[in-house]
A and B are shown apart, each in its own frame.
Chain A
Amino acid sequence: MSVFFLRRILTLVATLVAASLIIFLVLDALPGNAAQMLMGADASPDAVRALTVKLGLDQPLAVRYLLWLKGMAVGDLGNSYVYGTPVAGLIAERLVLTIPLAIMSMLITVVLALAAGIYTAANHNKLGDVGVMSLTQVGIALPNFWFAILLILLFSVKLQLLSAGGFAGWDDGIWPGIRSLLLPSISLAVVQAAILARVTRSAVLEVLREDFVRTARAKGLGKREVLWRHVLRNAMIPVMTVMGLQFANLLAGTIVIENVFYLPGLGRLIFQSIANRDLIVVRNCVMLLAAMVVIVNFVVDVLYAFIDPRIKVANL
């Protein structure tokens, strides 16, 4: 087991170093420079040159890359070109929103998807199945930003129950924060839940056709008991895989929803930083996301082993 972990960690570090090199080179190839971007079109050229030197952008490529690696090793990510404040602080401020948002959407997704998936599989080809499945088709086809606007129109503009956007933060307790993330997480969850429901349904249906299910039924177990005790556990592997992908996606891929609800999340930080050529922020964010995806995959792997002990044996 420890050999397995050591090997995994070495692979992880190697992956991250390779990722850092690719991220750095790709971002460096982008046309446009941060100093000119910050100073704008009408600034004195002399002022732009002074800023280039101040930001350290006049140094050679290799030097800047090595300085970055060194910074990451000692936990100093440098200062944002735009805000002038530490990048680590900026990212931390965004994670306070992004991680709870991802978790809330994931919870809503899982509850809706498992309920719908299991219900439809259990009622295969009946009216309820057809009805719910056509709803999931609609859910997948719905652009989430459009659905978000509908939610805003209903809850904020019409009923004036929830604010149309913004993030209340966690300073005044947990409730205002959760409330401001409610509409965004629902908008995000609808599409994800529709996808996951379909995956769950087909996974459950597939397991239902297995021999052991017939055996279980033959030895006298009730339909419900077979479903909950034997089928679900076996059907969870593909569901977990998709959930892992969805969670990783929710950490960075929520930029459109962040814009609709003007939430200061990680996605928007990356987007704004690319537009501002605040590349020091971009590369650290992308690096963080790469690390998170690797970690989420790792967690999913561990969960596989938990669901199906045979996987652990195979890995050893």
Chain B
Amino acid sequence: MLRKLCVIAAAAALVAAPLPSLAQGKKDSVVMGMTLEPPGLDPTNAAAAAIAEVTLYNVYETLTKINEDGSVSPLLAESWRASADLKTYTFKLRKGVKFHNGEPFDSAAVKFSFDRAAAPTSTNKDKSLYQAFASVTAPDPETVVVALKYSEPNLPFLLGQASGSIVEPKSAPTDATQPVGTGPYTLGSWAKGSSITLVKWPDYRNAAAIKLAKVTIRFIGDPAAQVAALLSGDVDAFPRVGAARSLAQFKADPRFSVLIGGSKAKTIVGINERKKPLDDVRVRRAILAAIDRKAMIDGAVDGFGTPIGSFYTPGSVGYVDTTGINPYDPELAKKLLAEAGVKTPLELSLRLPPPAYARQGGEILAAQLAKVGIIAKIENVEWAQWLSQVFTGPHNYDLTIVSHVEPFDLVKLTEPDYYLGYKSEAFNALYQQIMATPDEAGRAKLLGDAQRMLATDAVAGFLFQPQWITIASKKLKGVWKEVPQFENDFSAWSWE
């Protein structure tokens, strides 16, 4: 009776007024769903990927633009030239560009943005990159010269990330709440915890090409709610949606297109090489031999992953398949443990951060390790705890599972304080050589060597490259399938 009453009450209430059209109807606006809400809207001042997902190429622009396939094309810079040693880059800037507040965009703004990112008080995520700039000079309003302390072949790519957004000097301090950029959209409104609305900026240099006048971004964290929001038509598109288990339903529904794309992320089993007996490469190789990547991908991410054998992703320059170096072989694992003189059962801690891939993957890892005589004691921790105890600080863990989303982060493995604790002079030398090699073919070959070295040293339990699922209304065009970085380029979106 209670439930019947509820239904009657709800139905009665519904009769009273017609439903306002939500997502559908108007063809110059879109409602997009997003899992996390950004903490502020200044991507040069805070690290959250959610900031880039809202602002990059929409509100702010960068010198270069990273495309869907990972290639780099001009944006605020019309062209650029690198010196032979890849230490000096000269950028020619686009003319006649203005910021939202009417200030002109020129080389002074670029210099300001880069210097600000390198300043001692800077909280830019990629501060170390900007601190590696020996100088940023602006010989004339349309030219910027960046001189680096070391060779950086990936600079055009790195400057296309959200942390390289060009900001306007006067408005920069308040960008987190009132963003000012050069992009096609400005912030309309922000209902904290609920939604952000971006509106088209009429004075954009190429305003006629921008089809959507309004983009509403709704924050929906719960996977079941994400699915319901798509099915009910509340949102038109949901990039990186948590719908792996409802995929069949969406594929069968003619209203939706389902896009599955690769990423530059690497999901790994972190192994603390500072601890005994994990400092012994045989023990680490035993752990890798105990891991069945296929079962891991099925269980941790519902099959949405590509196996990887090293700290590098398929599709990147110089990728080689290294999954064969540490194949699944429980017998070999037992033998390696015996060789290393490890008494089984060996007890290791396994500290897992909150995402489902880690928590579910952790269960599978523990089960797989148990078969070779390693008892992994699972301990679930929050992100804050994981960051302060596993990733930084005391590095208090034996094993963990985490996904590294940064592209081109081999450099991390040369850092002595990195949480994995990998120390190899040979790898550091190889990395320096890669960075100093100007031609791409030569670099690709060396990158292959680096991947093999990391696999042979069993630096971590390399598991898979996650794939991201994007579900969008079939009539919505221009939504990216591949995910070279977390962003949504609304300038390319349009209704059919």
List A156-199 residues whose CB lies under 8 Å from chain B. 156-157, 160-167, 169, 175-176, 179, 182-183, 186, 189-190, 193-194
Set A39, A90, A155, A163: member contacting B22, Cβ < 8 A: A163
Q: Say whether A162 contacts B128, CB under 8 Å.
A: no
Set A39, A139, A160, A262: member contacting B221, Cβ < 8 A: A262
Q: Say whether A165 contacts B228, CB under 8 Å.
A: yes
Q: Does B39 contact A (CB under 8 A)?
A: yes
Q: Which of the segments A130-138, A219-227, A288-296, A300-308 contacts the partner chain?
A: A130-138
Q: Does B252 contact A (CB under 8 A)?
A: no
Q: Mark A34-51, 1 if CB is under 8 A from B, else 0.
A: 101111111111111011
Q: Mark B203-230, 1 if CB is under 8 A from A, else 0.
A: 0000000000000001111101100110
Give the shortest distance, in Å, between A58 (CB) and chain B (any CB).
13
Q: Mark B134-148, 1 if CB is under 8 A from A, else 0.
A: 000000000000000
Q: Which residues of A contact B406 (CB under 8 A)?
A: 42
Task: State the CA gap A161–B486 with chains docked (Å).
Answer: 34
Q: Does A60 contact B (CB under 8 A)?
A: no
Q: A interface, by DSSP: helix, strand, loop or mixed? A: helix
Give the shortest distance, in Å, between A55 (CB) and chain B (any CB).
10
Q: Say whether A275 contacts B383, CB under 8 Å.
A: yes
Give the shortest distance, in Å, between B66 (CB) and chain A (any CB).
17
Q: Mark A247-283, 1 if CB is under 8 A from B, else 0.
A: 0000000000001111111001100100111000000
Give me 17 other A-B pairs in contact (C-beta within 8 A), A93-B191, A160-B233, A272-B193 excluded. Answer: A32-B383, A36-B384, A37-B383, A42-B412, A46-B127, A46-B128, A47-B125, A83-B192, A84-B176, A108-B9, A116-B2, A166-B195, A167-B191, A175-B17, A176-B20, A190-B2, A269-B193
Q: Say whether A194 contacts B218, CB under 8 Å.
A: no
Give the shortest distance, in Å, between B485 (CB) and chain A (any CB).
12
The 10 sampled A-B contact pairs (Cβ below 8 Å) are A36-B387, A38-B48, A40-B47, A50-B123, A83-B39, A112-B2, A152-B232, A166-B218, A190-B3, A194-B2
Task: State the CA gap A263–B1 with chains docked (Å).
Answer: 28
Q: Mark B238-280, 1 if CB is under 8 A from A, else 0.
A: 0000000000000000000000000000000000000000000
Q: Which residues of B contact A82 (CB under 8 A)?
A: 39-40
Q: Does A70 contact B (CB under 8 A)?
A: no
Give the shortest distance, in Å, between B25 (CB) and chain A (any CB).
13
Given contacts A42-B409, A93-B192, A160-B232, contact A277 B2 (CB under 8 A): no
Given contacts A116-B2, A176-B20, A264-B194, contact A40 B125 (CB under 8 A): yes
Give the shortest distance, in Å, between A94 (CB) and chain B (any CB).
7
Task: State the CA gap A225–B59 with chains docked (Å).
Answer: 69
Give the shortest distance, in Å, between B435 (CB) and chain A (any CB).
18
Set B1, B354, B392: member contacting A116, Cβ < 8 A: B1
Give the shortest distance, in Å, between B144 (CB) and chain A (any CB).
22
Q: Say whether A32 contacts B388, CB under 8 Å.
A: yes
Q: Mark B386-415, 1 if CB is under 8 A from A, else 0.
A: 011101100000000010111001001000
Q: Which residues of B contact A39 (CB under 8 A)?
A: 46-47, 123, 125
List B108-159 residues whose CB lies under 8 Å from chain A. 120-128, 131
Q: Does B382 contact A (CB under 8 A)?
A: yes
Give the shortest distance, in Å, between A50 (CB) and chain B (any CB).
5
Task: State the CA gap A302–B121 with chains docked (Å).
Answer: 54
Give the shortest distance, in Å, between A260 (CB) and chain B (any CB).
6
Q: Does A16 contact B (CB under 8 A)?
A: no
Q: Does A33 contact B (CB under 8 A)?
A: yes
Nearest 10 pairs between A and B by C-beta? A32-B384, A264-B193, A82-B39, A156-B232, A40-B47, A44-B127, A164-B232, A264-B194, A164-B228, A47-B127
* From B2, B218, B222, residue with most partner A Cβ within 10 Å: B2
Q: Does B429 contact A (CB under 8 A)?
A: no
Q: Does B375 contact A (CB under 8 A)?
A: no
Q: Which residues of B contact A46 (CB under 8 A)?
A: 120, 127-128, 131
Set A84, A151, A264: member contacting B177, Cβ < 8 A: A84
Set B121, B194, B228: member contacting A156, Cβ < 8 A: B228
Give the shortest distance, in Å, between B148 (CB) and chain A (any CB).
16
Q: Which residues of A contact B124 (CB under 8 A)?
A: 44, 47
Q: Mark A46-64, 1 if CB is under 8 A from B, else 0.
A: 1110110110000000000
Give the shortest distance, in Å, between A315 (CB) and chain B (any CB).
37
Set A84, A190, A262: member contacting B219, Cβ < 8 A: A262
A-B contact count (CB 8 A): 203
Q: Does A85 contact B (CB under 8 A)?
A: yes
- A157's closest neighbor in chain B, by CB? B231
Q: Say whether A43 contacts B125, CB under 8 Å.
A: yes
Task: State the CA gap A156–B122 with chains docked (Å).
Answer: 46
Q: Does A314 contact B (CB under 8 A)?
A: no
Set B2, B14, B126: member contacting A162, Cβ < 8 A: B14
Q: Does B5 contact A (CB under 8 A)?
A: yes
Q: Does B234 contact A (CB under 8 A)?
A: yes
Q: Say whether B125 contacts A44, CB under 8 Å.
A: yes
Q: Which residues of B contact A37 (CB under 8 A)?
A: 383-384, 387
Give the shortest distance, in Å, between A234 (CB) and chain B (any CB).
25
Q: Which residues of B contact A74 (CB under 8 A)?
A: none
Q: Which residues of A contact B10 (CB under 8 A)?
A: 151, 155, 162, 182-183, 186
Q: Which residues of A contact B5 (CB under 8 A)?
A: 112
Q: Mark A76-101, 1 if CB is under 8 A from B, else 0.
A: 00000011110000100110000000
Q: Say whether A259 contacts B225, CB under 8 Å.
A: yes
Q: Which residues of A contact B176 (CB under 8 A)?
A: 83-84
Give the shortest distance, in Å, between A10 (CB) and chain B (any CB).
36
- B233's closest neighbor in chain A, by CB? A160
List B355-391 residues whose CB lies under 8 Å from chain A. 382-385, 387-389, 391
Q: Which residues of A contact B225 (CB under 8 A)?
A: 164-165, 259-262
Give the shortest distance, in Å, between B88 (CB) and chain A (any CB).
23
Q: Which residues of A contact B384 (CB under 8 A)?
A: 30-34, 36-37, 275-277
Q: Does A19 contact B (CB under 8 A)?
A: no
Q: Say whether A135 contacts B125, CB under 8 Å.
A: no
Task: State the CA gap A281–B406 with chains docked (Å).
Answer: 29
Q: Say whether B387 contacts A41, CB under 8 Å.
A: yes
Q: Which residues of B contact A167 (CB under 8 A)?
A: 191, 194
Give the shortest distance, in Å, between B178 (CB) and chain A (any CB).
11
Q: Say whether A50 contacts B121, CB under 8 Å.
A: yes
Task: State the CA gap A135–B3 with chains docked (Å).
Answer: 9
Task: State the CA gap A275–B353 with chains docked (Å).
Answer: 11
Q: Say whether A275 contacts B382, CB under 8 Å.
A: yes
Q: Say whether B222 contacts A259, CB under 8 Å.
A: yes
Q: Mark B344-359, 1 if CB is under 8 A from A, else 0.
A: 0000000000100000
Q: Does B426 contact A (CB under 8 A)?
A: no
Q: Say whether B48 contacts A262, CB under 8 Å.
A: no
Q: Mark A188-220, 1 if CB is under 8 A from B, else 0.
A: 011001100000000000000000000000000
Q: Does A149 contact B (CB under 8 A)?
A: yes
Q: Say whether B13 contacts A262, CB under 8 Å.
A: no
Q: Which residues of B contact A152 (CB under 8 A)?
A: 228, 232
Set B46, B49, B234: member contacting A163, Cβ < 8 A: B234
- A35's closest neighbor in chain B, by CB? B123
- A113's closest neighbor in chain B, by CB? B2
Give the shortest distance, in Å, between A85 (CB) and chain B (any CB).
6
